[in-house]
Amino acid sequence: VTTRHYKFNIQMSKVTRLCHTKSMVTVNGKFPGPRIMAREGDRLLIEVVNHVPNNISIHWHGIRQLRSGWADGPAYVTQCPIQTGQSYLYNFTVDGQRGTLWWHAHISWLRSTVYGPLIILPKKGVLYPFTKPYKEVPIIFGEWFNGDPEAIISQALQTGGGPNVSDSYTINGLPGPLYNCSAKALNLTQLCFYLTDTFKLNVKPGKIYLLRLINAALNDELFFSIANHSLTVVEADAIYIKPFETETILITPGQTTNVLLKTKSKIPNANFLMAARPYVTGQGTFDNSTVAGILEYSKSPKKLPLFKPSLPALNDTAYATNFTNKIRSLATVQYPANVPLKVDKRFFFTIGLGTSPCDQQNGTCQGPNGTRFSATVNNISFVQPNTALLQSHYSGQSNGIYSPDFPISPLKWFNYTGSPPNNTMVNNGTKLVVLPFNTSAEVIMQDTSILGAESHPLHLHGFNFFVVGQGFGNYDPNKDPKKFNLVDPIERNTIGVPSGGWIAIRFLADNPGVWFMHCHLEVHTSWGLKMAWLVLDGKLPNQKLLPPPKDLPKC
Ligand code: C2O
């Protein structure tokens, strides 16, 4: 086993974007953070040292953490945060996985500046199931706030409303050419070049590039396209898929997508914009601006015409659905889709918004009728404990920390996508679903129209799941399962529950530990759209969670 060592110094650094300089939390002074590279089967040792006033923890998004749940990272779920002046060694093996993943801070809104790519190459000598690319390029989408995102969210939570939108999306940390310091934001039709802040991809003609796309944005699903070039999608969430060609991809926060870009056979007399902008289904707060980078074939000093991509409309659900439906597992002998065919336990989760009583002390609440916004799974808004769930489970001291009674279905039936019930108040609690080792689980996630239907990118830690079905309206337990795809469904770790619709996922609970599941829109996570699974140890020695490391942080 090859061991790879990394050191993450969490430090304050001055960064300038959009003409604003601010001191912000970074890893090793970099924004975005450093790239982690490994091969399937490698052991990663990442020492995280906290030099900032904030508490920190890091999550390795999409890494299964087989039996090594202590290294998963969500604060107050698998570990207490790393406090100022302290350090923690994340120690895990990348077992049976390869592809594009990423890492990010997993505490309050620090992931807005603390994130980076995590790229796992196949084992030595193992080829990709597609043409060998000439070059590989990570492209990570994010958001830039001129202000301090931590202050923005705490202000929003105090008033019970939505946070301010970010000031720009970014590509590899850069906000793009659609902005200049004197004229402020520009749009695609009045292009003006201030290229210092723009991501540029310089390519050679007649080659194939592998773009590793990662959506690290806080609150928006994104459409992405490159003018006059089509993209071949080959991988999603580090799982090979049946390749298909498209002009535009959709990527939700938390997801990763690999595409092949075939460059023109001769150097063209033009440059090409690549652009991303959101797919928006709710009515909440969002940034509807576009971020762009430039695909250039030569660094010629003369001004070349610039072609612009056309992106679907902000609310183009038909495009989004059609795109999602095309993603299918490779399902070959070498890369099988091991969908659980029998189901031991079925769950029906309503996913959506709701309201909570206002705490008048903090000023006017911004939810409907003077309430504050909340978000729930089965009408339960998750309350963060003051110690880590996995630690309290392991030490047998879970009393008063969590209860193992998360409901398997909503407590009250209602017409989920019809008119919402009169009472939109949510319940609060720290509840877990307990699953015996190797339980095969099926979960239907049903979006509700409470305070408006909206697409929610749900992310599960510790597992990949198979998306066996999806549809609009209310899930019908008599009809819909007949249409489930058990042959080549996509296997992934983050999936958009469609606005006003449902998805069905299956996974095998073969990884003991406490595993977080939440909406990857940060504002919804903050409002409580999260819950956790507790998977018990199996009987055999290799079915048990490893003991906690000695340096595991304390609360
Ligand atoms: Cu990428 Cu729990 O998150």
Q: Which residues contact 197 (CB under 8 A, 6 or more apart)?
A: 17, 18, 174, 175, 176, 177, 179
Separation CA 293–CA 226 (nearest Å): 9
Share of the chain above pLDDT 90, in %: 82
Ligand 1 atom at minimal distance to the Cα of residue 525: 2
Burial of 98 (0-12, 13-18, 19+ CB in 10 A): buried
| pLDDT given for residue 154 in this prediction | 87
* 35-61 pLDDT tens trace: 999 999 999 999 999 999 999 999 999
Phi, psi of 523 (to 5 degrees): -65, -35
Q: Which residues contact 228 (CB under 8 A, 6 or more apart)?
A: 270, 272, 307, 309
Q: What angle do CA 382, 385, 389 make, to 5 degrees?
A: 95
Mean pLDDT of the region 515-525:
96
The rounded Å distance from CA 299 to ligand 1 centre is 38
Separation CA 549–CA 485 (nearest Å): 41
Which stretches of 71-114 are assigned E, i.e. beta strand? 87-93, 99-105
Supply the mean pLDDT for the chain. Answer: 93
| Token pair in block for residue 155 | 């202000």
Residue nearest (by alpha carbon) to ligand 1 atom 3: 61
The rounded Å distance from CA 163 to ligand 1 centre is 19
Specify the higher pLDDT residue, 362 or 239: 239
Given a cut of 50, whether residue 222 has pLDDT beyond it is: yes
Burial of 303 (0-12, 13-18, 19+ CB in 10 A): exposed
Q: Could you count the other beta carbons within 10 Å of the beta carbon of residue 464?
A: 19
DSSP state of 126: P
DSSP state of 188: G
By the 8 A CB rule, do 523 and 491 touch? Answer: no
The rounded Å distance from CA 183 to ligand 1 centre is 37
| pLDDT given for residue 184 in this prediction | 52
Mean pLDDT of the region 98-111:
97
The rounded Å distance from CA 261 to ligand 1 centre is 28
Mean pLDDT of the region 396-419:
94
Q: Which residues contact 290 (CB under 8 A, 6 or more apart)?
A: 169, 176, 178, 187, 188, 275, 276, 277, 311
Separation CA 5–CA 390 (nearest Å): 25
Which range (108-117, 190-199, 425-434) has the least confidence?
A: 190-199
* 76-85 pLDDT tens trace: 999 999 999 9
* 413-463 pLDDT tens trace: 999 999 989 899 999 999 999 999 999 999 999 999 999 899 999 999 999
Which stretches of 110-159 are assigned E, i.e. beta strand? 115-121, 135-144
- Please determine, for the modelled complex, whether the ipTM score is greater than 0.95: yes
| pLDDT given for residue 194 in this prediction | 46
Ligand 1 atom at minimal distance to the Cα of residue 62: 1
Given a cut of 50, whether residue 149 has pLDDT beyond it is: yes
Ligand 1 atom at minimal distance to the Cα of residue 73: 2
The rounded Å distance from CA 104 to ligand 1 centre is 8
| pLDDT given for residue 363 in this prediction | 67
Ligand 1 atom at minimal distance to the Cα of residue 102: 1
Separation CA 434–CA 344 (nearest Å): 13
- DSSP letters, 369-437, are GG-EEEEEETTEEEPPPSS-HHHHHHTT--TTT-BS---SS-SS---TTSSPPS--BPEEE-BEEEE-T
By the 8 A CB rule, do 235 and 100 touch? Answer: yes
Q: Which residues contact 125 (CB under 8 A, 6 or more apart)?
A: none
Phi, psi of 394 (to 5 degrees): -65, -35
DSSP state of 523: H
Domains and CATH numbers, the chain: 1-127 (2.60.40.420), 130-329 (2.60.40.420), 345-543 (2.60.40.420)
The rounded Å distance from CA 514 to ligand 1 centre is 14
Given a cut of 60, whether residue 157 has pLDDT beyond it is: yes
Measured torsion, CA atoms of residues 17, 456, 70, 400, in degrees rounded to the nearest 10: 120
| pLDDT given for residue 408 in this prediction | 97
Ligand 1 atom at minimal distance to the Cα of residue 61: 1
Amino acid at position 375, single letter: A
Separation CA 27–CA 11 (nearest Å): 6
| pLDDT given for residue 32 in this prediction | 97
By the 8 A CB rule, do 365 and 372 touch? Answer: yes
Ligand 1 atom at minimal distance to the Cα of residue 516: 2
Share of the chain above pLDDT 70, in %: 95
Mean pLDDT of the region 227-231:
97
Mean pLDDT of the region 212-238:
97
User: Which three-class secondary structure string do you get for 337-371?
Assistant: CCCCCCCCEEEEEEEEEEEECCCHHHCCCCCHHHC
Ligand 1 atom at minimal distance to the Cα of residue 461: 2
The rounded Å distance from CA 202 to ligand 1 centre is 32
Ligand 1 atom at minimal distance to the Cα of residue 253: 1
* 467-517 pLDDT tens trace: 999 999 999 999 999 999 999 999 999 999 999 999 999 999 999 999 999
Pocket of ligand 1 (CB under 6 A): 59, 61, 74, 104, 106, 254, 459, 461, 516, 518, 520
Q: Which H or E run includes 524? A: helix 522-526
By the 8 A CB rule, do 362 and 355 touch? Answer: no
Amino acid at position 497, single letter: V
Specify the higher pLDDT residue, 183 or 51: 51
Beta strand 456-460 with 513-519 is antiparallel
The rounded Å distance from CA 71 to ligand 1 centre is 13
| pLDDT given for residue 20 in this prediction | 86
Phi, psi of 322 (to 5 degrees): -60, -40
Mean pLDDT of the region 196-216:
94
The rounded Å distance from CA 309 to ligand 1 centre is 30
DSSP state of 118: E
Q: Which H or E run includes 526? A: helix 522-526
The rounded Å distance from CA 434 to ligand 1 centre is 20
Separation CA 385–CA 56 (nearest Å): 16
| Token pair in block for residue 260 | 């092949």
By the 8 A CB rule, do 221 and 319 touch? Answer: no
